[in-house]
């Protein structure tokens, strides 16, 4: 019998990046005891689920997205006992836990991979995608490109053979064609689910099936070969198999990170009847300020494009699948000063306008650590301040280009490490994250932007998020109501309705520094406003004013 209920539809999920959240043992790196010490803070915010980025044992070439042991914890983060304690402390507080499941690839330090490359007859050889290179093994088997700016193959020593790795060299892709690999993955799922974990965020899950031709693609442009490895031919079959054999036996949920998936694929992946995933992350709106989904191809932000993309996501899954709602994660730069919000004057109000714009759409909202206090980008000034493997790979490529300086400045602005600086708990030297120098620099804004200040100011962004969370929890119209975008071509306002029978919620957020009228709101009664970031509501909206009307 299928044991899955739909609790994910009521979830409000907070993402923790363990390295950067709280350092419990003062070694400069966040850890599980640190997380435990902050659970009351999450309870105060009101979230009821945590997505934990990887804490498994790992050599950390990509901060844990390279797993060397799926059944243990990276020692600097703590022990399995610490993990179990964290899980039970979360459950005591009504907070569920979803783990990051990274099974498109393992670490090159995983015993499977070590055996696979050291012995051609190893039973683990076929766990990976290993092919003979061209030109007597001196050149890669084809011209595919990976996600971190490099070719997708690495040579095994000085042999003729190469292994596929769509990310860093230390992240060999698993061969999902091999049924033994799929059984291993199922066992890993069961291991954590039996321990009481509530579900998984499935890393780059739409890359697990690859077209088996392994031929070069022409013309060779960004992400060459992507037609072979993005939403490959057996993806749906593999996901269905995991669901039927494991997931459906537990009351758990899944959210898939699906990179560059099409509208049609997104429907197939989330259609409950097909039993694949509960939801997916669609990046079309976070990519609205770049070309081709590549953040280095920067494009000026336009509110109307952002609205259209979110509207497309909502319309696409209407009555068919479930959306995930987010504006930040550990791979994205911070949303402050992005997506129409501004730094400096009106910083808080504009972050509130952005928060209201995404949080009450149809779907399950996510908050990334620090987003709720308006943490800003890191303002990196040199590559030495950056740790991320992706940024370093790109920097290597950029060093060969003219205009290097201009490109490097862009790299500092979009580097994933902008989201990974230590959480700002207070204004002490290391921001209450640690008492020793952290692994990544502390954001210089810590004197003003920190949790302590946020909690002591009733008008802070934190309390605005808290209100949105409370409102969503208490009103089924936000979960079940029909979505409709209002005035989609208006360049200054983000507005939408959610309707359930005779009940209606209308969200109107101004994205203008000037006072402006919004014709639609003339029809509404200001007595129905339940959440706002200003006290008095005139005919004109004040800069970045939000009004949420609840009409019953």
User: Can you tell me the distance from the alpha carbon of 331 to that of 279, in angstroms, rounded to the nearest whole number?
Assistant: 19
Is 40 an active-site residue? no
Nearest approach in angstroms of CB 201 to ligand ISL is 9
DSSP state of 543: T
When the beta carbons of 291 and 429 are compared against ligand ISL, the nearer one is 291
When the beta carbons of 222 and 244 are compared against ligand ISL, the nearer one is 222
Length of the chain (residues): 552
CB neighbours of residue 221 within 10 Å: 10
Nearest approach in angstroms of CB 63 to ligand ISL is 7
Q: Which segments of 258-356 are extended strands (E)?
A: 279-281, 290-291, 294-298, 322-325
Nearest to 373 by CA among 323, 416, 401, 334: 334
Here the tokens at position 273 are 């009847």
User: Can you tell me the distance from the alpha carbon of 186 to that of 180, in angstroms, rounded to the nearest whole number?
Assistant: 10
When the beta carbons of 439 and 494 are compared against ligand ISL, the nearer one is 439
Is 100 an active-site residue? no
Alpha-carbon 412 to chain mean position: 20
Here the tokens at position 361 are 């759409």
Helices (H), 430-475: 451-456, 461-474
Between CA 58 and CA 63, with CA 60 as vertex, the angle to 5 degrees is 115
Alpha-carbon 274 to chain mean position: 24
HSE-CB at 518 with a 13 A cutoff on CA atoms is 32
Query: Which residue is catalytic, options 31, 198, 257, 545?
Result: 257
Please say whether the beta carbons of 324 and 255 come within 8 A: yes
User: Can you tell me the distance from the alpha carbon of 145 to that of 153, in angstroms, rounded to the nearest whole number?
Assistant: 8
When the beta carbons of 19 and 125 are compared against ligand ISL, the nearer one is 19
Nearest approach in angstroms of CB 104 to ligand ISL is 7
When the beta carbons of 209 and 521 are compared against ligand ISL, the nearer one is 209
When the beta carbons of 206 and 243 are compared against ligand ISL, the nearer one is 206
Nearest approach in angstroms of CB 56 to ligand ISL is 12
When the beta carbons of 61 and 551 are compared against ligand ISL, the nearer one is 61
CB neighbours of residue 344 within 10 Å: 7
Nearest approach in angstroms of CB 390 to ligand ISL is 6
Nearest approach in angstroms of CB 78 to ligand ISL is 21
- Per CB under 6 A, residues contacting ligand ISL are 62, 65, 102, 147, 167, 203-204, 257, 259, 295, 330-331, 390, 416
Nearest approach in angstroms of CB 147 to ligand ISL is 5
Query: Which residue is catalytic, options 198, 203, 241, 387?
Result: 203
Cβ neighbours of residue 518 closer than 8 Å, sequence gap 6 or more:
487, 490, 492, 493, 495, 508, 510, 541
Q: Report, as residue numbers or ranges, the catalytic residues.
A: 203, 257
């Amino acid at each position: 019998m299928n044991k899955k209920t739909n609790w994910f539809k009521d979830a409000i999920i907070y993402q923790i990046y363990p390295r950067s959240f709280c350092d419990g043992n003062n070694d400069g790196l966040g850890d599980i005891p640190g997380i435990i010490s902050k659970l009351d803070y999450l309870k105060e915010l009101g979230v009821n689920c945590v997505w934990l980025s990887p804490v498994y044992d790992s050599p950390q070439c990509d901060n844990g997205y390279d797993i060397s042991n799926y059944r243990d914890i990276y020692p600097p983060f703590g022990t399995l006992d610490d993990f179990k304690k964290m899980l039970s402390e979360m459950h005591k507080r009504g907070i569920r836990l979803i783990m990051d499941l990274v099974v498109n690839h393992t670490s090159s330090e995983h015993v499977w991979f070590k055996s696979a490359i050291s012995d051609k007859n190893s039973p683990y050889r076929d766990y990976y995608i290993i092919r003979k290179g061209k030109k007597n093994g001196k050149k890669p088997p084809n011209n595919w490109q990976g996600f971190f700016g490099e070719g997708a193959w690495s040579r095994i020593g000085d042999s003729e053979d190469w292994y596929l790795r769509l990310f860093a060299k230390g992240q060999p892709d698993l061969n999902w064609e091999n049924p033994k690999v799929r059984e291993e993955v199922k066992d890993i799922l069961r291991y954590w689910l039996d321990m009481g974990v509530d579900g998984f965020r499935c890393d780059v899950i739409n890359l697990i099936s690859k077209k088996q031709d392994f031929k070069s693609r022409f013309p060779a442009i960004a992400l060459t070969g992507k037609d072979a490895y993005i939403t490959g031919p057996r993806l749906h079959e593999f996901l269905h198999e995991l669901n039927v054999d494991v997931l459906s036996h537990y009351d758990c949920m899944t959210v898939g990170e699906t990179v560059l998936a099409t509208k049609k694929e997104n429907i197939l992946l989330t259609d409950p009847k097909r039993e694949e995933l509960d939801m997916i992350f669609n990046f079309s709106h976070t990519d609205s300020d770049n070309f081709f989904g590549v953040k280095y191809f920067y494009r000026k932000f336009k509110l109307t494009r952002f609205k259209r993309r979110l509207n497309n996501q909502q319309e696409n899954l209407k009555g068919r699948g479930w959306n995930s709602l987010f504006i930040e994660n550990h791979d994205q730069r911070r949303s402050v000063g992005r997506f129409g919000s501004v730094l400096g004057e009106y910083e808080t109000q504009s972050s509130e306008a952005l928060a209201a714009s995404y949080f009450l759409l149809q779907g399950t909202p996510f908050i990334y650590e620090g987003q709720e206090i308006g943490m800003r980008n890191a303002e990196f000034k040199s590559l030495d301040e950056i740790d991320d493997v992706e940024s370093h790979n790109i920097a290597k490529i950029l060093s060969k280009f003219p205009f290097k300086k201009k490109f490097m400045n862009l790299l500092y602005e979009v580097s994933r490490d902008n989201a990974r600086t230590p959480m700002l708990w207070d204004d002490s030297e290391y921001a209450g994250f640690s008492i020793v120098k952290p692994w990544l620099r502390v954001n210089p804004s810590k004197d003003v932007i920190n949790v302590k200040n946020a909690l002591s100011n009733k008008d802070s962004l934190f309390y605005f998020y808290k209100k949105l969370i409370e409102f969503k929890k208490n009103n089924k119209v936000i979960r079940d109501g029909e979505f409709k975008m209002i005035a989609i071509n208006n360049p200054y306002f983000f507005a939408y309705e959610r309707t359930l029978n005779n009940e209606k919620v209308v969200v109107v957020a101004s994205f203008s520094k000037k006072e402006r009228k919004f014709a639609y709101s003339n029809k509404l009664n200001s007595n129905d406003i339940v959440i706002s970031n200003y006290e008095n509501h005139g005919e004109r909206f004040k800069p970045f004013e939000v009004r949420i009307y609840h009409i019953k």
